[in-house]
């Protein structure tokens, strides 16, 4: 499970659309969302992707839509996470902040590496099975270059750009990035000239950073801690399932906290011990049933059930079928009971 259930959506996005002559209501309708979404501070993953896809559909050419919104988005509408990058000391500092604070605004992630005369920034996703629309990919990478241009006041160019999908008029993108753009590649990657990272930002604002940095850093640290506690709880559950020893008391003791504190921490992350226990059991059930050396009784024991019937009832709720039938259907063999 991930504790990400919603995404902070910048209100400046809607303002940017108006500047392009696109009504926010038009995008909301195209996305199949209620008009109230325009005033919502957070959206779901599905809504987030639908909004970007709707903008892409309305604008027509993805490449031109990328350039228009990237260059037309006014600095005054930057959210705090981006403001901290725009007012950084230099381009390297700005990119480092973008990658760090992007954790507060999933589902995209940025991986920065430097080698030789190149700085590579690769775009990833929170879920390998859930990647965003091409418009979102393009704007995310284009804005990283736009950030450098606005911060330094120089017409910086990229060294190369790679997109994993066809993304519209390549010539429009090459004119913007100032380099060759590869479409239909293996990754979504922006490669910069490493020497540009030393360029100071004319927008550097030490006083503002003194205010923003502690707040944003604390938010990132708290979020990472919340993610880690969910992962650790699930790991302890897996380890203590056999024999039915997996309960809140066991997990809390291993974490060095009280049972009440554990439950409060999980509640803050919008989950519960019962939910995580069920999720772990469901995940492991599929894994164990795929192992033909284990019979159903052994699987039930490994999942911490007192008897086979309890496991059967739970599995029916998860999969709508019995463990035996599931194994036969998915593995093409008769189950060993």
- Please report the DSSP string for 150-209 in residue order: HHH-S---EEEEE-SS--S-HHHHHHHHTS-EE-S-SS-EEEEEGGGGGPBPTT--HHHH
What is the residue extent of each domain of the chain? 7-204, 211-331
Is the pLDDT confidence value at 303 over 60? yes
* pLDDT bracket for residue 1 (50, 70, 90): very low
Distances (CA, A) of 23 to 14, 28, 234: 8, 9, 45
305-314: pLDDT as tens digits: 988 999 999 9
Instruction: Give the three-state DSSP class for 291.
Output: coil
Tell me, rounded to whole angstroms, the distance of Cα 298 from its chain centroid: 37
pTM for this predicted structure: 0.68
Kindly state the percentage of the chain with pLDDT values over 70: 94
159 φ/ψ angles, rounded to the nearest 5 degrees: -90, -40
Place of tokens 């479409």: 183
211-331: what fold?
A: Arc Repressor Mutant, subunit A (1.10.10)
Over residues 178-222, the pLDDT tens digits come to: 999 999 888 999 999 999 999 999 999 999 999 999 999 998 888
The tens digit of pLDDT for each residue in 42-81 reads 887 778 889 999 999 999 889 999 999 999 988 988 999 9
**Which DSSP state fits 168?**
S
Task: Return the residue matching tokens 């049933």.
Answer: 289
| CB neighbourhood size of 289 (10 A) | 20
What is the residue whose two structure tokens read 């790679």? 162
Q: Distance (Å, rounded) from C-alpha 233 to C-alpha 255?
A: 8
pLDDT digits (tens, 9 = 90+) for 206-265: 999 999 999 999 988 887 766 678 888 888 898 888 867 788 988 888 777 789 989 988
DSSP state of 7: E
pLDDT band at 333 (very low <50, low <70, confident <90, very high): low
Decide if pLDDT at 3 tops 50: no
CB 150 within 8 A of CB 86: yes
Calculate mean pLDDT across residues 157-181. 93
241 closest CA partner among 292, 278, 289, 293: 278
């Amino acid at each position: 499970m991930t504790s990400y259930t919603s995404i902070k959506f910048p209100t400046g996005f809607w303002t940017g659309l108006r500047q392009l002559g696109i009504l926010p209501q038009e995008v909301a309708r195209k996305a199949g969302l209620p008009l109230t979404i325009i005033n919502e501070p957070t959206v779901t993953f599905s809504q987030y992707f639908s909004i970007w896809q709707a903008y892409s559909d309305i604008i027509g050419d993805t490449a031109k839509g990328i350039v228009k919104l990237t260059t037309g988005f006014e600095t005054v509408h930057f959210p705090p996470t981006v403001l901290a990058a725009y007012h950084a000391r230099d381009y390297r500092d700005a990119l480092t902040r973008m990658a760090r604070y992007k954790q507060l605004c999933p589902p995209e992630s940025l991986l920065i590496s430097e080698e030789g005369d190149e700085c590579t920034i690769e775009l990833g996703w929170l879920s390998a099975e859930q990647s965003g629309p091409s418009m979102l990919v393009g704007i995310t990478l284009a804005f990283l270059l736009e950030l450098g241009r606005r911060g330094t006041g120089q017409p910086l160019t990229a060294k190369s750009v790679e997109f994993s999908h066809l993304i519209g008029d390549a010539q429009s993108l090459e004119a913007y990035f100032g380099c060759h753009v590869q479409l239909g590649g293996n990754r979504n990657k922006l490669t910069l000239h490493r020497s540009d990272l030393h360029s100071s930002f004319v927008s550097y604002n030490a006083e503002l950073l003194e205010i923003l940095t502690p707040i944003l850093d604390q938010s990132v640290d708290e979020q990472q801690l919340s993610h880690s506690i969910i992962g650790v709880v699930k790991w302890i559950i897996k380890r203590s399932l056999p024999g039915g020893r997996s309960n809140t008391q066991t997990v809390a003791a291993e974490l060095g906290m009280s049972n009440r504190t554990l439950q409060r921490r999980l509640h803050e992350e919008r989950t519960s011990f019962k939910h995580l226990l069920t999720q772990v059991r469901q995940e492991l059930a599929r894994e164990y049933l795929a192992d033909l050396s284990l019979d159903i009784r052994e699987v039930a024991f490994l999942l911490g059930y007192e008897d086979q019937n309890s496991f059967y009832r739970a599995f029916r709720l998860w999969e709508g079928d019995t463990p035996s039938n599931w194994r036969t259907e998915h593995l093409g063999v008769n189950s060993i009971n």
